[in-house]
Amino acid sequence: MTEVLSLLFTPRSVDHPPAALGLVKLLPTLVRNPLETWPRPLFTERLFWQSFAGRPLLFVMDPVLIDEVLVAKAAVFTKAPIIRRTIGPAVGNDSIFTAEGAQWRWQRRAAAPPFRHATILGFVPSFHAAAARTASALEARGGETVDVAELMMATTFDVIVETMLSGAASFDTRRFGAEISHYFDTVGWIAALSILRIPSWVPYPGKRRARAGNLFLRREMARVIAERRARSGTTPDLLDFLIAAADPETGRAMTDAELADNLLTFVVAGHETTALALTWAIWLLSNAPDVEARLLEEVGRVVGDGPVEAGHIDELVYVKQVVQEAMRLYPPAPLIPRIASEDVTLGGERIAAGTPVYVPVYAVHRHHLIWDEPEAFDPDRFAPARARALHRGAYLPFGAGPRICIGAAFAMAEAVAILATLVRAVRFIPIAGHQPLPTIRLTLRPDGGMPMRVEPRARP
């Protein structure tokens, strides 16, 4: 057993402090990389109280208690104000991601149809086509070093525009991605100021740039909505469903501003996360030749040389395991923040109304009480029989409960199709000595991107 484990690839990990940082160290570290503020007990304890500027905050790592927070008592543990403060400026405070109660429920229902199983399978040709375009571009760049993170962003952006907005809009992909990044880069500041209870109008580095970027993104969404209102008669996509939706209680439809907020939510939430899952998966694979060989064998056997089709997705079992394990080590959404909306008890702890209660997904996924060799890359953890034995609160890349990611099945099918297509066409080679560290920028990004060398694989 030990022999087998010792062969597994174990990536370099962030150096976590032994205990919670004091305010003086905490603030600059939060701005640089919030992950570096997470103390080691998050990886070994079931619960951990931390004081932020005199206010208590509870981290929950016990899968049973996580289930209670996100599922059983979801009505009590609502989305924390930090979500509205960090994400609200980008996607509005009443969009599907940020709203609560009735305002959230009807939007969730309105957005559900494109995420039904049969509809998702219908998108597989788009997943394959986007990956095939990226693969051809890479085949032409043999021997070069490319930024895999940037390439995956462009690939999944293509997918989201094509599937959710029927490819109608001519977006400037690079500018779009850059504006999102500028905004995400300021999130450390927003979090630090929020901890100090400094009002949101106070300036901080990058704020003006980020605000200009947000305006650009919203203008782009307004353009897409105006174009769609001017034409009709196509196969309905997400935008059509949102335009047609009416609140069952009031009969009210979404205003153009609400439509823009929701579209932006879907475009941002729906491409960046999947791109990161793919980026980390490709890098992990390139460091684990045995895993890569097994994956290639499966792709060859199930798909052959042709395109990945809908019928292949469920058969690419090992490819899925690789994606799942990549999201265990590097969950694209590393933290799920909630707040107790009333006095409540959890695991014997009394929690006062107004207390932030955070599920640190990244720490849960590397927790010593949950996983053997938590830092090692081992896709066999997700072999179907072993995965069934996992507690549902132990593995949460998509969250859990009523606010679980609406795009989870879409993202899994997309990631499987893209990974299979790319790895079959191109060999990704890690840069010697480059060990990317994960950085929280709302999502979990590789610090400094993901430079890798590419070589086309010989065709059989």
- In the complex, the residues that contact ligand HEM under the rule CB under 6 A are 79, 96-97, 108, 265-266, 269-270, 273-274, 277, 332-333, 336, 397-399, 403, 405-407, 410-411
Q: Which is nearer to ligand HEM, 59 or 410 (CB)?
A: 410
User: Shortest Cβ distance from residue 287 to ligand HEM (Å)?
Assistant: 21
User: In sequence order, what DSSP letters do the residues of 387-431 get, joined into one string?
Assistant: HHTS-TTT--TT--GGGS-TTHHHHHHHHHHHHHHHHHHEEEEEP
Q: Which is nearer to ligand HEM, 176 or 427 (CB)?
A: 176
User: Shortest Cβ distance from residue 277 to ligand HEM (Å)?
Assistant: 4
User: Shortest Cβ distance from residue 403 to ligand HEM (Å)?
Assistant: 4
User: Shortest Cβ distance from residue 445 to ligand HEM (Å)?
Assistant: 13
Helix 256-286 and helix 207-229, axial crossing angle in degrees, nearest 10: 110
Q: Which is nearer to ligand HEM, 86 or 214 (CB)?
A: 86
Q: Which is nearer to ligand HEM, 21 or 390 (CB)?
A: 390
User: Shortest Cβ distance from residue 17 to ligand HEM (Å)?
Assistant: 25
CA neighbor of 360 nearest in space, from 2, 80, 55:
80
Q: Which is nearer to ligand HEM, 48 or 97 (CB)?
A: 97
Cα–Cα dist 114/64, whole Å:
32
Cα–Cα dist 44/90, whole Å:
35
Q: What would the two tokens of residue 425 be?
A: 């066409």
**What's the CA dihedral at 267, 273, 191, 348 to 10 degrees?**
120
Cα–Cα dist 437/329, whole Å:
11
Cα–Cα dist 120/434, whole Å:
36
Q: Cα–Cα distances in Å, from 319 out to 116, 304, 324, 372?
A: 22, 14, 9, 21
User: Shortest Cβ distance from residue 269 to ligand HEM (Å)?
Assistant: 4
Q: Which is nearer to ligand HEM, 34 or 407 (CB)?
A: 407
CB-based closest residue to ligand HEM: 407
Residue 60, beta-bridge partner list: 47
Q: Which is nearer to ligand HEM, 202 or 317 (CB)?
A: 317
User: Shortest Cβ distance from residue 67 to ligand HEM (Å)?
Assistant: 13
Q: DSSP state, 43? A: G
CB atoms within 10 A of CB 294: 17
